[in-house]
């Protein structure tokens, strides 16, 4: 059973569809990078996969269940775009953020030593255990992303969904960040991310999904690089040199 199964999905916020006839599956163990121009529907597709919108047509299934009705929320970890915004005013420590990942398993208010151990282990895995007692607001963008991934790991999720995880991460930390995702994937975590840096997706992920209202490409990075998909899917934005980054 695929972890994610999208079939003939059409969706719009208004009468004008943002996504048209999108079909894809993500199997356990995959490492998938989704790219596409600004406004091409990437975040919307992730939100549909997470069950946050109702499809106009077609179906979205998570672990075999309709995404809207999916109840095993802890199996899916979501790291939203710009996590910084969410924690701007929160006077909480890194460890507390990570412990939140245990809430669905532990039950609110009943955090045990086992939960604390899991949180510590998750922090070690992402390499920021030394920052456990720091306020989350004092971390750099890259460190904060790691904290949020640790929260997902502490929750023992099977699927990690990330929306533009490297926004706000300094250039030197981007490679290390993708290496970490690669290691987590090797250890069994299924990863689905949206990323504006096409070069990073081609270099680090195993499968490229190129979206612009519908799927333009779905396959291995090497095939993507040899194709004319970039030109077709991004059209004029390449020539304007806008958000396309091929490093």
Residues in the site for ligand ADP, rule: CB under 6 A?
Answer: 13, 18, 36, 38-44
Q: How far is the CB of 54 from ligand ADP (least distance, A)?
A: 13
Helix (H) or strand (E) holding 24: strand 19-26
Q: How far is the CB of 39 from ligand ADP (least distance, A)?
A: 4
Residue (46 or 191) nearer to ligand ADP, CB:
46
Q: Is 68 exposed, middle or buried (0-12, 13-18, 19+ CB in 10 A)?
A: middle
SS (H, E, C) 155-210: CCCCEEEEECCCCCCCHHHHHHHHHHHHHHHHCCCEEEEECCEHHHHHHHCCEEEE
Q: How far is the CB of 116 from ligand ADP (least distance, A)?
A: 36
Q: How far is the CB of 170 from ligand ADP (least distance, A)?
A: 22
Residue 117: C-alpha distances to residues 61, 109, 154, 159, 213 (Å):
33, 16, 9, 21, 43
Helix and strand counts by DSSP (H, E) for the chain: 11, 10
Residue 107: C-alpha distances to residues 44, 100, 113, 194 (Å):
30, 10, 14, 31
Q: How far is the CB of 44 from ligand ADP (least distance, A)?
A: 3
Tokens of 243: 């958000």
Map residue 135 onto helix, strand or coil: strand
Residue (42 or 151) nearer to ligand ADP, CB:
42
Residue (39 or 220) nearer to ligand ADP, CB:
39
Q: How far is the CB of 22 from ligand ADP (least distance, A)?
A: 12
Residue (18 or 119) nearer to ligand ADP, CB:
18
Residue (159 or 211) nearer to ligand ADP, CB:
211
Residue (45 or 97) nearer to ligand ADP, CB:
45
């Amino acid at each position: 059973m695929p972890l994610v199964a999208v079939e003939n999905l059409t969706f719009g916020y208004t009468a004008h569809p943002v996504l048209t006839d999108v079909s894809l599956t993500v199997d356990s163990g995959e490492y998938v990078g989704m790219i596409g121009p600004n406004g091409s529907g990437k975040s919307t597709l992730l939100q549909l996969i997470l069950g946050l919108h109702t499809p106009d047509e077609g179906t979205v299934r998570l672990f075999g269940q309709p995404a809207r009705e999916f109840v095993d929320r802890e199996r899916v970890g979501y790291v939203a775009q710009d996590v910084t915004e969410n924690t701007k005013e929160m006077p909480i420590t890194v460890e507390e953020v990570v412990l939140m990942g245990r809430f669905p398993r532990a039950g609110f208010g009943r955090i045990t030593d086992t939960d604390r151990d899991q949180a510590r282990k998750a922090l070690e895995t992402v390499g920021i255990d030394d920052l456990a007692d720091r306020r989350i607001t004092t971390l750099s963008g890259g460190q904060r992303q790691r904290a949020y991934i640790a929260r997902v790991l502490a929750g023992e999720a099977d699927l990690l969904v990330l929306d533009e995880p490297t926004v706000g991460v300094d250039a030197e930390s981007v490679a290390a960040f993708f290496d970490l995702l690669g290691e987590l994937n090797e250890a069994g975590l299924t990863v689905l991310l949206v990323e504006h840096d096409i070069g990073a997706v081609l270099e680090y992920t195993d499968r490229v999904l190129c979206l612009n209202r519908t799927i333009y490409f779905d396959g291995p990075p090497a095939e993507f690089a040899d194709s004319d998909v970039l030109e077709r899917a991004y059209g004029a934005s390449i020539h304007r040199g806008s958000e396309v980054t091929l490093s």
